[in-house]
A = this chain, B = another copy of it.
Amino acid sequence: MYNHRMRRPSLIDKVCTAEQAAALIKDGMTVGMSGFTRAGEAKAVPIAMAERAAADPFRITLMTGASLGNDIDRRLTEAGVLARRLPFQVDPVLRAAINRGEVMFVDQHLSETVEMLRSRQIGPMDYAIVEAVAIREDGGVVPTTSVGNTASFAILAEKVIVEINLTQPLALEGLHDIYIPTRRPHREPVPVLACDSRPGLPYIPIEPTKIAAIVFTEQSDSPSANEPPDAETNAIAAHLIEFLKQEVKQGRLGMGLAPLQAGIGTIANAVMHGLIDSPFRDLRMYSEVLQDSTIALFDSGKLAFASGSSITLGPAMTRRFNENLDAYKKRMVLRPQEISNHPEVIRRLGIIGINTALEFDIYGNVNSTHVEGTQMMNGIGGSGDFARNAYMSIFVGRSTAKGGAISTVVPMATHVDHNEHDVDVLVTEHGLADLRGLSPRERPGRIINNCAHPDYRDALRDYAERAARERGGHTPHLLEEAFSWHLRRQRTGSMKPEAGAI
């Protein structure tokens, strides 16, 4: 019936129900699942695992590429299955459990998880549960809309459960390039010399005897949850494009710029959208997640090639993508996330990294993860892989949150994911601060005047001036009031000074 999807007849006796496959997962196991940013996650078996746990409680360590769709993280959390979770998530229910200290979340650079697994610094992995469009004659597994960590999980796990998803177009075959770094101490250079390099295989090579179960599913990826661009994100995009035009004018970049990476989410997606109306041409992406903006940029003729580790689209773009898959496929590749985020390739290609900041301080230290220094939002994701090794590292964000009650620009970041050494450019809807070549003392003026919301500028200037005068130092701070804005918000609901106070 599904010969074109399951092409190795000897594996036919491995076909089973999701419930049967889920029963293979035992308490205490380490499980790797496919899935990167709501794309290509295993669906039926994880859901069956959550259902089974109601009657038969068990807990596992779960590793993925990045976030999962179809509420998998919510369901597994609610069922009490997750003891430990890495390296990224975005689910509100799981997030709350992490912040209550119930699930041990290990927030990792996305390039590092399989390196640590391969060198046995974490793991070992008992099962990999991976979504596929097909199993080849040789047992090779063809991934769906993401590669993420799927390939190395399948190669390194003791056993593999494959979910063949019939809703994922068979035409995805050929979209992927599976290159696995060779073993140390004889590791070769990663042979990715350009965005469109294809040094690998179009499938995941695994020993067929490792396949413990095969489940057929028909559940779609969750659609992307990005909001459409708005006035603020358009302003951010406009400031960034104006800056890049100046870089071209100065002769530092050509009209094709440099390979672009854009983080997940509404703002980065909107910034990429903004490039449609820019003068740049023949753009290339070397990124993690390809979003609606990637398809829009292809269709606008601006984008020549896009390399990523997953593709996550809204409903309209999903239809457009699937209807023209063969055409898009010629200009796209999905890679393992250790290759999409590889320090070697990022430095070699000279990438412009564009990632989202939750807050940043007057010296350019960026918090990407922790609300008020304590509550995890999503995770660092790949932003650290890119920011440290990129040609230019740009962080974008709105200048305020919660209707203006929270300033994104603060005296001191309550958590530092990206320190001032890794942050070249900051952009909000108010403007752009180019920090390259500036010492910390030269930064507050530029960051406050260009990026902060006008309501907070005077107070930020006051802090910066008093810190420089009263305490001094390379990076002046008043430790006794560095977090006073956050404490005020905890007390009053707003970072704005209380009536009557200075």
Chain A contacts to B: CB under 8 angstroms: 84, 86, 98-101, 104-109, 115-116, 119-122, 184-191, 193-194, 250-252, 258, 342-344, 346-350, 365, 370, 372-376, 380, 384, 388-389, 391-392, 412, 414-417, 419-422, 424, 436-439, 441-442, 467-468, 471-477, 479-480, 482-483, 486-487, 490
Given that A185-B350, A436-B122, A479-B483 are contacting pairs, would A474 and B374 also be in contact in the complex, using a CB cutoff of 8 Å? yes
Complex Cα spacing A161 to B343, Å: 35
When distances are taken between beta carbons in the complex, the residues of chain B under 8 Å from A109 are: 388, 421-422
When distances are taken between beta carbons in the complex, the residues of chain B under 8 Å from A250 are: 120
Q: Report yes or no: A441 in contact with B350, Cβ–Cβ below 8 A.
A: no
Q: Report yes or no: A184 in contact with B84, Cβ–Cβ below 8 A.
A: no
When distances are taken between beta carbons in the complex, the residues of chain B under 8 Å from A380 are: 421
Q: Apart from A84-B439, A104-B438, A343-B388, what are 4 other A-B pairs with CB-CB below 8 Å?
A: A119-B350, A185-B194, A187-B349, A370-B474
Q: Report yes or no: B187 in contact with A350, Cβ–Cβ below 8 A.
A: yes
Q: Report yes or no: B475 in contact with A252, Cβ–Cβ below 8 A.
A: no
Complex Cα spacing A252 to B380, Å: 27
Q: Report yes or no: B252 in contact with A120, Cβ–Cβ below 8 A.
A: yes
Counting chain B CB atoms within 10 Å of each CB, which of A372, A415, A486 scores highest?
A415
State which of B194, B438, B474 has its C-beta within 8 Å of the C-beta of A376: B474
Main secondary structure of the interface of A (DSSP, over half): loop
Q: Report yes or no: B388 in contact with A388, Cβ–Cβ below 8 A.
A: yes
Q: Report yes or no: B436 in contact with A121, Cβ–Cβ below 8 A.
A: yes
Could you give 22 example pairs across A and B, Cβ below 8 Å? A101-B441, A101-B468, A104-B439, A104-B441, A105-B474, A109-B388, A109-B421, A121-B424, A185-B194, A185-B258, A185-B349, A187-B350, A189-B191, A189-B348, A343-B344, A344-B344, A344-B348, A373-B412, A373-B479, A374-B474, A376-B473, A483-B483
- Least CB separation from A414: chain B residue: B479
- Least CB separation from A106: chain B residue: B439
Q: Report yes or no: B184 in contact with A442, Cβ–Cβ below 8 A.
A: no
Given that A344-B344, A347-B343 are contacting pairs, would A252 and B101 also be in contact in the complex, using a CB cutoff of 8 Å? no
Complex Cα spacing A343 to B439, Å: 24
Q: Report yes or no: A120 in contact with B251, Cβ–Cβ below 8 A.
A: yes
Q: Report yes or no: B99 in contact with A474, Cβ–Cβ below 8 A.
A: yes
When distances are taken between beta carbons in the complex, the residues of chain B under 8 Å from A344 are: 189, 343-344, 347-348
- Least CB separation from A99: chain B residue: B473
Given that A190-B189, A483-B480 are contacting pairs, would A375 and B258 also be in contact in the complex, using a CB cutoff of 8 Å? no
Complex Cα spacing A365 to B416, Å: 9
Minimum Cβ distance to chain B for residue A496 (Å): 18
Complex Cα spacing A438 to B250, Å: 46
- Least CB separation from A342: chain B residue: B347
A-B pairs, top 4 by smallest CB distance, nearest first, are A374-B473, A189-B189, A376-B474, A416-B416
